[in-house]
């Protein structure tokens, strides 16, 4: 379409003509599609077998016009040929892994990932005879050494959760191309406003659209963007697994996407201001934000991203109970496990993992870590709120949950 990003978030993927001249894309609430006669069925099947992209529907598990509008818009935003919408981010990730890996294959996970992605690869792909090698963040120099003759996929995430590490995607894609390996990135924290992995040579881009793309904490969805041939393979599996987004969720996502550019630009600005404020605060030990010069991946983040997002992770100068005290004194954010919506949300992430301190320690996430996801509130208000919560920290009692 050759237009700017903000124009694309509003118009791309939707065409101009709508039933009744409606401005908005309708929610096509149907589970199946009727055919006029047998000839129409035969024409439809012929087109499908020829690999064409049939515009009429067949059955809701294979597609829906509201869903297709979202897919076409996100494909345009990411600069991919095609996108496929799923019922959640995890449905997108697990379907992708199942579609492109076979028994005896090997996957290299080149960065830390969302916890459930890690669990699926370790505990479930292994059941189907798929091997995996995990690299820690910052270990890209070891990536090529981890490639084996049966490596079929390099999977990564950027920025990561919760330490916001950013891997060099050009290097990942160069190594993968040298060995004929497919690459996939979970780009949920970045959004296409801040990072365009396909431009950097990555084959498949995944989002938990539950987060920034939807942006209003009111839906679950996931999306994968890539080339026609790769996504056709994935589409076949999605149609079998049945993990499609409902027309209502597709509509809510389409509506959320229209404001993606303005929301994320605001969240970028607020994230940067909160990170700078926290870095100077005496009750904060360390701030993890790729927009700060102190972040280990600042240089690569600056090179490959145009903004650093609204999530700031930081460690309180205190123990686990003192960190909980900060969370409990926050008055604006909700306390909960998500990010990317219009409402600020904060969490002491380790406490969602287990009540057992040993299990929390094994997760690698510090008890003192707060993941703070800015919404679109005024940055001044969020900062004043954080300040009063940090200043409310009582002396250490070494309490435990
Ligand atoms: C980076 C990342 N990827 C994937 C997911 C899973 O997405 P969903 O909750 O939509 O299944 C999450 C959820 O928190 C996430 O943070």
pLDDT digits 0-9 by tens, 351-392: 998 888 888 888 889 999 999 999 999 999 999 999 999 999
Residue pair 211/240 in contact by the 8 Å Cβ criterion:
no
Q: Is 211 a catalytic residue?
A: yes
Residue 111 CA to residue 183 CA, distance in Å, equals 13
Q: How confident is the model at residue 54 (pLDDT cuts 50, 70, 90)?
A: low
Given a cut of 70, whether residue 195 has pLDDT beyond it is yes
Dist. CA 90 → ligand 1 center (Å): 6
Nearest of 132, 120, 384 to residue 273 by alpha carbon: 384
Residue 112 beta carbon below 6 angstroms from any ligand 1 atom: no
201-256 pLDDT, tens per residue? 999 999 999 999 999 999 999 999 999 999 999 999 999 999 999 999 999 999 99
Dist. CA 207 → ligand 1 center (Å): 8
Residue 88 beta carbon below 6 angstroms from any ligand 1 atom: yes
Q: Which residues contact 243 (CB under 8 A, 6 or more apart)?
A: 86, 87, 88, 91, 95
Q: How many CA atoms are closer than 13 Å to the CA of 119, on its beta-carbon side? A: 6
pLDDT given at position 139: 97
Structural element, H or E, at residue 118: helix 115-119
- Taking CA atoms only, the protein residue closest to ligand 1 atom 14 is 338
Q: Which residues contact 239 (CB under 8 A, 6 or more apart)?
A: 61, 62
Residue pair 124/258 in contact by the 8 Å Cβ criterion:
no
Nearest of 304, 305, 275, 270 to residue 292 by alpha carbon: 275
Alpha-carbon distance values, 23 to 2, 16, 65, 73 (Å): 22, 8, 15, 16
327-349 pLDDT, tens per residue? 999 999 999 999 999 999 999 99
Please compute Rg for the chain using Cα positions: 22
Q: Which residues contact 359 (CB under 8 A, 6 or more apart)?
A: 353
Enumerate the domain spans of the chain.
5-28+64-257, 261-391
Residue 179 CA to residue 182 CA, distance in Å, equals 9
Alpha-carbon distance values, 365 to 113, 301, 309 (Å): 13, 22, 20
Residue 217 beta carbon below 6 angstroms from any ligand 1 atom: no
Given a cut of 70, whether residue 399 has pLDDT beyond it is no
Residue 341 beta carbon below 6 angstroms from any ligand 1 atom: no
pLDDT given at position 400: 44
CATH architecture, range 261-391:
Alpha-Beta Complex (3.90)
Given a cut of 50, whether residue 257 has pLDDT beyond it is yes
- Per the prediction, the chain carries an average pLDDT of 95
- Domain 5-28+64-257 in CATH 3.30.70.20? The answer is no
Per CATH, 5-28+64-257 and 261-391 having the same topology is answered no
Alpha-carbon distance values, 154 to 75, 118, 148 (Å): 21, 13, 11
Q: Is 368 a catalytic residue?
A: no
CA dihedral 17, 21, 25, 31 (to 10 degrees): -90
- Taking CA atoms only, the protein residue closest to ligand 1 atom 6 is 89
pLDDT given at position 19: 85
pLDDT given at position 401: 44
pLDDT given at position 181: 98
Structural element, H or E, at residue 352: none
Residue owning tokens 């005879």: 129
Given a cut of 80, whether residue 51 has pLDDT beyond it is no
- Taking CA atoms only, the protein residue closest to ligand 1 atom 7 is 89
Dist. CA 205 → ligand 1 center (Å): 13
Residue pair 377/344 in contact by the 8 Å Cβ criterion:
yes
Atom of ligand 1 nearest to the CA of 189: 1
Residue 347 beta carbon below 6 angstroms from any ligand 1 atom: no
- Taking CA atoms only, the protein residue closest to ligand 1 atom 10 is 89
pLDDT given at position 153: 98
pLDDT given at position 2: 78
* Angle (nearest 5°) at CA 105 between 143 and 161: 50
Nearest of 197, 201, 194, 243 to residue 220 by alpha carbon: 243
Given a cut of 70, whether residue 67 has pLDDT beyond it is yes
Q: Is 8 a catalytic residue?
A: no
Q: Which residues contact 79 (CB under 8 A, 6 or more apart)?
A: 192, 196, 198, 199
Atom of ligand 1 nearest to the CA of 221: 10
Residue 220 beta carbon below 6 angstroms from any ligand 1 atom: yes
Alpha-carbon distance values, 69 to 65, 120, 219, 255 (Å): 6, 30, 17, 11
Q: How far apart are the first and last CA of the chain?
A: 54
């Amino acid at each position: 379409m050759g237009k700017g990003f903000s124009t694309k978030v509003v118009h791309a993927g939707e065409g101009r003509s709508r039933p009744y001249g409606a401005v908005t894309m309708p929610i096509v609430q149907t589970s199946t599609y009727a055919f006029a006669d047998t000839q129409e069925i035969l024409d439809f099947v012929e087109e499908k077998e020829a690999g064409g992209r049939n515009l009429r529907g067949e059955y809701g598990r294979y597609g829906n016009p509201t869903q297709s509008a979202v897919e076409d818009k996100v494909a345009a935003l990411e600069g991919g040929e095609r996108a496929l919408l799923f019922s959640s981010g995890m449905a997108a990730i697990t379907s992708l892994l199942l579609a492109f890996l076979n028994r005896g294959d090997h996957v290299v996970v080149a960065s830390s990932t969302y916890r459930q992605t890690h669990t699926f690869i370790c505990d479930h792909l292994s059941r189907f005879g798929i091997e995996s090698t995990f690299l820690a963040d910052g270990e890209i120099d070891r990536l090529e050494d981890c490639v084996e003759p049966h490596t079929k996929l390099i999977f990564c995430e950027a920025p990561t959760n919760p330490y916001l590490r950013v891997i060099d995607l050009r290097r990942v894609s160069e190594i993968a191309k040298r060995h004929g390996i497919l690459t996939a990135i979970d780009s949920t924290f970045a959004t296409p406003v801040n990072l365009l992995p396909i431009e950097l040579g990555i084959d498949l881009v995944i989002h938990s659209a539950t987060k920034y793309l939807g942006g209003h904490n009111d839906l679950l969805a996931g999306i994968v963007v890539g080339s026609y041939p790769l996504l056709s393979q994935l589409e076949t599996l999605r149609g079998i697994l049945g993990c499609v987004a409902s027309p209502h969720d597709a509509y809510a996502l389409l509506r959320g996407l229209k404001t993606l550019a303005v929301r994320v630009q605001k969240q970028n600005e607020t994230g940067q201001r909160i990170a700078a404020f926290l870095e100077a605060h005496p009750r904060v030990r360390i701030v993890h934000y790729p927009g700060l010069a102190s972040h280990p991946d600042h240089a690569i983040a600056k090179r490959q991203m145009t903004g650093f997002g609204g999530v700031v992770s930081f460690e309180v100068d205190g123990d686990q109970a003192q960190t909980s005290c900060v969370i409990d004194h926050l008055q604006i954010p909700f306390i909960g496990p998500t990010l990317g919506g219009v409402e600020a949300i904060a969490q002491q992430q380790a406490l969602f993992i287990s009540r057992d301190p040993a299990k929390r320690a094994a997760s690698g996430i510090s008890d003192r870590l707060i993941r703070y996801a800015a919404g679109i509130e005024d940055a001044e208000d969020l900062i004043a709120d954080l300040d009063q919560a940090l200043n409310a920290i009582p002396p250490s009692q070494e309490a435990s949950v």
